[in-house]
Amino acid sequence: MEKDSKIYLAGHRGLVGSALKRKLESKGYTNIIFRTHKELDLTNQQAVNEFFEQEKPEYVFLAAAKVGGILANSTYPAQFVYENLMIESNIIHSAYKCGVKKLLFLGSSCIYPQLAPQPLKEEYLLTGPLEETNEAYAIAKIAGIRLCKHYNQQYGTNFISVMPTNLYGPNDNFNLETSHVMPALIRKIHEAKANNEPEVVVWGTGKPFREFMHVDDMADACVYLMENYDFSEIGEFVNIGVGEDITISVLVELIKDIVGFEGEIRYDTSKPDGTPRKLIDISRLNGLGWKTRISLKDGIRETYELYMKTQ
């Protein structure tokens, strides 16, 4: 990519998209285009086609998606599979038709089988049943990976896919009904401290392991791959993560310490844990010359400080 290349960033307001926007701008890219949902409904095929024909972007970052945690995925599975399939199908097909030089599709580590060996290697895709609580989202993301793969095979496009681990950071979603575990815990523990509550109730047993990556690190890895590698060098997709995980209970204690909450933590074991472990193998990414930079403690502290500014 040249610094003045026309880059379309889909989903620029979200956690991932806003991080990509910050990274691209900090590296001197000056011709980034984007649209709000009100300006362009990405589930509308005709609207997306017309946008690509009019703007003719050279590069595309496909970060737009309907996302959420266990509760949202369990409550709205039809919306999760439909909206994500429509978004990725419309953008990938329009990118092909308009001759986009390169596209990067962002998936999720939930694409892997529920009980796949740990750490999760790229080749474990489609080797077993998915985690039931986010199956709809996972199926849509797997379809996006395969869309990129098969368009490359049939049409000679250069569409690459990346699979980030659990992300957190600036512009995260702190809505308790739709958020992921990290922002939900930050908000619950902060509110408990602010209201002098004696305890915080956390879903599940606290025993599952999760890997957490600061979204600015993820954005740095994505731009690095777009600048340096093609589909033929990357393969079907690349995991993006930090290569280390912790239990939810350890995460809770870390957030509790950063927030300064001195009450008790009670685990509601009637609620689901989700997948027991989701550590991804990042040997392919490291082999391509990229490594993470932001520590978990520093990242949580920064995220909490940003959350406090919104209160």
Catalytic positions: 137
Does residue 279 contact residue 208 with C-beta atoms inside 8 Å? no
For residue 8, the cross-strand partners are: 33, 60
Q: Identify the CA nearest to 151 among candidates 109, 64, 89.
A: 89
Please check if 14 is assigned to a binding site.
yes
Please check if 260 is assigned to a binding site.
no
Please check if 190 is assigned to a binding site.
no
Please check if 204 is assigned to a binding site.
no
Please check if 214 is assigned to a binding site.
no
Does residue 91 contact residue 41 with C-beta atoms inside 8 Å? no
Please check if 108 is assigned to a binding site.
yes
Cα–Cα distance, 298 to 255 (Å, whole number): 11
Please check if 180 is assigned to a binding site.
yes
Please check if 284 is assigned to a binding site.
no
Cα–Cα distance, 238 to 255 (Å, whole number): 30
Please check if 169 is assigned to a binding site.
no
Does residue 58 contact residue 100 with C-beta atoms inside 8 Å? yes
Does residue 91 contact residue 62 with C-beta atoms inside 8 Å? yes
Amino acid at 124: Y
Please check if 290 is assigned to a binding site.
no
Please check if 273 is assigned to a binding site.
yes
Please check if 13 is assigned to a binding site.
yes
Q: Identify the CA nearest to 207 among candidates 234, 245, 177, 238.
A: 245
Does residue 21 contact residue 64 with C-beta atoms inside 8 Å? no
Please check if 16 is assigned to a binding site.
yes
Q: Where are the beta strands (DSSP E) in 45-203?
A: 59-62, 102-106, 159-164, 166-168, 199-203
Q: Which tokens is 234 given?
A: 């990357």
Binding-site residues for NADP(+), please? 11-17, 106-109, 141, 164-167, 180
Binding-site residues for substrate, please? 188, 203, 210, 273
Binding-site residues, please? 11-17, 106-109, 141, 164-167, 180, 188, 203, 210, 273
